[in-house]
């Protein structure tokens, strides 16, 4: 198991409203600097952003379909283009990891999201060769707005894009679709994946859970997966 360096000293920050992306990046870097210097504890930050696109280190220009639709921010994380906006829970775990299994860290984030989704009433899982949390085709078939051909495929409900520096400190994190404006994903090729749809909890459940409930379940699942105490 990939763990943080201090299991009993992690701050949980749950922001209300929409946090501008440049503000979040600046706060993230300030906190990471404090963690590296031993002046700040690990932190898990749960928030929402206003509508925007972000580009990971592997993004290519052709994957940005409508570049003038929303602000576009280059990031230092892995992955490609993603959308953030209202109705989507973004999580930034800022942790000093024990060990160097960075792929294992991503797999644990996936398992954490899968656990939280199960408690919210949705069966999901990992998809071989892909990153994130996915629902299988029988679940995706419930999506009323999806194209008929997409209802026969696995669908992505949560994206992951992280950076782990040489000192083992993490930045960026995950994005879970609760009830965002799904048409906004059409402005990019999400995560560079052209052949599978993107879905939300609102697409697949009789009613989408509220943001506060999702934050509680994500925090609870995170604490269990990574061995942190949480006030979820």
pLDDT digits over 146-195, tens only?
A: 989 889 999 999 999 999 999 999 999 999 999 999 999 999 999 988 88
- What integer best gives the mean pLDDT of the chain? 92
Q: How does residue 4 score in pLDDT terms, banded at 50, 70 and 90?
A: very low
CATH class of 10-226: alpha beta
Whether 110 has a pLDDT exceeding 70, the answer reads: yes
Q: Which of the residues are catalytic?
A: 191
Measured over the CA atoms of residue 209, residue 203, residue 66 and residue 60, the dihedral's sign is: positive
What's residue 5's pLDDT? Answer: 47
């Amino acid at each position: 198991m990939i763990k943080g360096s201090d299991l009993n000293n992690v701050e949980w920050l749950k922001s209300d409203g929409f946090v501008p992306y440049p503000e979040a990046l600046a706060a993230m870097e300030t906190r990471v600097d404090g963690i590296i210097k031993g002046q700040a504890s690990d932190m898990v930050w749960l928030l929402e952003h206003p509508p925007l696109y972000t580009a990971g280190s592997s993004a290519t220009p052709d994957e940005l379909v409508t570049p003038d639709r929303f602000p576009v921010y280059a990031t230092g994380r892995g992955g490609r283009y993603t959308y953030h906006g209202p109705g989507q829970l973004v999580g930034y775990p800022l942790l000093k990891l024990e060990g160097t299994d960075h792929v294992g860290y991503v797999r644990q984030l996936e398992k954490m999201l899968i656990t939280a989704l199960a408690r919210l009433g949705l069966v999901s899982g990992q998809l071989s060769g892909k990153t994130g949390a996915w629902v299988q085709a029988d679940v995706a078939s419930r999506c009323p707005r999806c194209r008929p051909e997409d209802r026969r495929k696995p669908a992505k409900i949560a994206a992951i894009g992280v950076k782990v520096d040489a000192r083992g400190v993490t930045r960026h994190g995950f994005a879970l679709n609760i009830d965002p404006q799904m048409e906004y994903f059409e402005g990019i090729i999400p995560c560079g994946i052209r052949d599978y749809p993107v879905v939300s909890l609102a697409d697949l459940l009789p009613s989408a859970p509220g943001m506060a409930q999702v934050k509680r379940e994500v925090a609870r699942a995170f604490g269990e997966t990574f061995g942190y105490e949480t006030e979820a």
